[in-house]
Amino acid sequence: MANSLSVGDKAPEFSLKSQTGKAYRLTDLKGKWVVLYFYPKDDTPGCTKQACSIRDFHGEFQKRGIEVFGISIDDEKSHADFASKFSLPFPLLADTAHSVSLAYGAFSNGKYSDRFTYVIAPDQTISHIFKKVNVDAHAQEVLAVINNH
């Protein structure tokens, strides 16, 4: 079952388009730390706080060579509007078919189970899973986890 991903597992491959139409694949990111955060909906209060937290620390992620992606089932246009409205400098990936969200266990029964974040190591194994997210301090929590590896 998709929800059974654990630390040490190989991260499921994905290929999704961002708000700019650019396609991203996990295999193209091998050798880098990757953060995938799954969120329920663009431009809602909790999702906005979470995205802005990551935006505010984006320079730290960049300095460390960490790739950050937000993923929801919203389409590219919705993502583009959300990214523009809040000056989000990282890709928001459109999982309109739900396939990636299902593979990572973030989506079931027709909705997001909760906010999930996966930290993927350079060898593309799952290094850490956040199953509950503090939307205000999430960026700092993710950076701390990566700093400890």
**Is 47 among the catalytic positions?**
yes
Of the candidates 65, 69, 57, 63, the residue with the CA atom closest to the CA atom of residue 19: 69
From the list 47, 54, 83, 92, the catalytic residue is 47
- Looking only at the bridges linking them, the beta strands covering 111-112 and 34-38 are unpaired
- Looking only at the bridges linking them, the beta strands covering 23-25 and 34-38 are unpaired
Max CA-CA distance within the chain?
38
How far are the Cα atoms of 13, 16, 57, 125 from residue 113, in angstroms, in the given order? 20, 20, 26, 22
HSE, side-chain direction, 13 A CA sphere, residue 67 = 21
Residues annotated as catalytic (active site), given as ranges: 47
